[in-house]
Amino acid sequence: MLLEVEVKVKVNNASELRKKIKQIAIHEKTQSRGDDYFALTKNAYPRKAFRIRYDGEKFVVNFKKHLKNLYSDGIVVKEEYEFKLTDIPHLGNFLALLEDLGFKPWVKKRKHVESYLWKKDKRVVIEINHVEHIGTYMEIEFLAKRNEVSMAKKKILEVLKLLEIKKGEIDNVGYTRRLYDKGIKDSKYFITKKFKEKSG
């Protein structure tokens, strides 16, 4: 299983950052993503939640487990589990299971993503993410085997240095936490409602 090794930084000037990134990385893709998060409670910030992502082509269920014992230098490490729902009937069956187990739509995250691959090691992905309601952030990510975590951290720190980002600028507060703190849910956009409209 690959581990997600990553760091997040608040972006104040996306144009200037983009220029720096293009000096060291190659543009891979630009896309919009919609993430629907489900939890067992709607009235408090949940200890556990998972998402269904729709990128315009497929639905992907994703759950992340934080490995805090591997955190260091402002870099976080997570185990990531995911699987695809290949069509609308599969989505419908899965949503019915969620409802029966008591999971409820919790928060909606929508973001516009620019992805770049570091020229020195294309396993390092640099993203500029504009997240609706909360602003623009840069993420640097490396999918690593457990015995590669230390190496992945070194590469991420090297990229931060190249982009002239200081450790004090790292801000790993999650997007869902920020959305929750702002009281933003965007429930009218939830995939559950879209599905009911399609199947109705």
**How many domains, the chain?**
1
**What's the CATH code of the domain at 151?**
2.40.320.10
Long-range contacts from 118-123, C-beta under 8 angstroms, 24+ separation: 118/24, 118/25, 118/155, 118/159, 119/24, 119/25, 119/26, 120/24, 121/155, 122/26
Q: What is the pLDDT of residues 87-108, one digit of tens each?
A: 888 888 998 999 899 998 888 8
**DSSP-derived secondary structure letter, 68:** G
For residue 199, tell me if it sits in a domain. Answer: no
For residue 44, tell me if it sits in a domain. Answer: yes
Looking at the predicted structure, is the pLDDT value of residue 22 above 60?
yes
For residue 163, tell me if it sits in a domain. Answer: yes
**CB-count exposure of residue 58 (10 Å: 0-12, 13-18, 19+):** exposed
Q: What is the pLDDT of residues 23-77, one digit of tens each?
A: 999 999 999 888 999 999 777 889 889 999 987 778 899 999 999 999 999 999 9
Looking at the predicted structure, is the pLDDT value of residue 86 above 70?
yes
For residue 200, tell me if it sits in a domain. Answer: no
Q: Which residues of 3-39 are buried (b: 16+ CB within 10 A; e: fewer)?
A: bbbbbbbebeebeebeeebeebbeeeeeeebbbbbbb
Domain that holds residue 29: 3-194
Q: What is the pLDDT of residues 120-158, one digit of tens each?
A: 999 999 999 999 999 999 999 999 999 999 999 999 999
Q: What pTM, to 2 d.p., does this model score? A: 0.89
